[in-house]
């Protein structure tokens, strides 16, 4: 919006300069250059916003896939715990095997929780950007300070 408004103001300034000066006066030429500069900045902002949305979408898809894979790993870990307990109950396994399988299951559960959180965060960021939210600053476009936001994003239902 800020870049669009800058173009509108540059157009008004150019029109005002044309109303008071002949087209070959430096003030008119300067107003035309300012207008062209504002149009270029607007295009750069649009491209940067599009890139940010695309990156957010990719991050969301990656987080969803990571969650799906973690859930499958968790199912395997649950089965390992079940089998270790059966072996222990049958007298052919040790309590150490059960403890190790249970520990692995807890680690995978923690990874699943983190993956679910990452997906929720990516979803929120993508929805924010898609609905018109903006994380790119003008300084990022001009190269003075870089990006204002992170790199993740996403939307959609995970379950």
What's the chain's average pLDDT? 87
Number of other CB atoms surrounding residue 76 within 10 Å: 12
Q: Helix, strand, or coil here: 153?
A: coil
Q: Can you tell me the mean pLDDT for 1-5?
A: 92
* Distance between start and end Cα atoms, the chain: 36
pLDDT of residue 150: 41
What band does 133 get if pLDDT is binned at 50, 70 and 90? confident
pLDDT tens across 57-92, in order? 999 999 999 999 999 999 999 999 999 999 999 999
78 exposed, middle or buried (CB, 10 Å; 0-12, 13-18, 19+)?
middle
User: What is the spatial distance between Cα 10 and Cα 12, in angstroms, rounded to a whole number?
Assistant: 5
pLDDT tens across 17-33, in order? 999 998 889 999 999 99
pTM of the model: 0.66
């Amino acid at each position: 919006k800020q870049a669009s408004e800058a173009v509108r103001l540059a157009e008004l300034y150019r029109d005002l300069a044309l109303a008071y000066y002949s087209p070959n006066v430096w003030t008119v030429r300067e107003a035309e250059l300012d207008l062209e500069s504002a149009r270029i900045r607007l295009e750069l902002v649009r491209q940067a916003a599009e890139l940010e949305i695309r990156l957010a979408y990719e991050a969301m898809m990656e987080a969803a896939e990571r969650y799906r894979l973690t859930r499958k790993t968790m199912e395997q870990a649950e089965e390992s715990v079940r089998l270790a307990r059966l072996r222990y109950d049958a007298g052919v396994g040790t309590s150490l095997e059960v403890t190790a399988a249970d520990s692995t299951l807890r680690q995978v559960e923690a990874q699943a929780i983190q993956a679910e959180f990452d997906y929720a965060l990516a979803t929120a960021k993508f929805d924010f950007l898609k609905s018109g939210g903006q994380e790119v600053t003008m300084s990022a476009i001009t190269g003075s300070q870089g990006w204002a936001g992170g790199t993740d994003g996403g939307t959609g239902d995970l379950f």
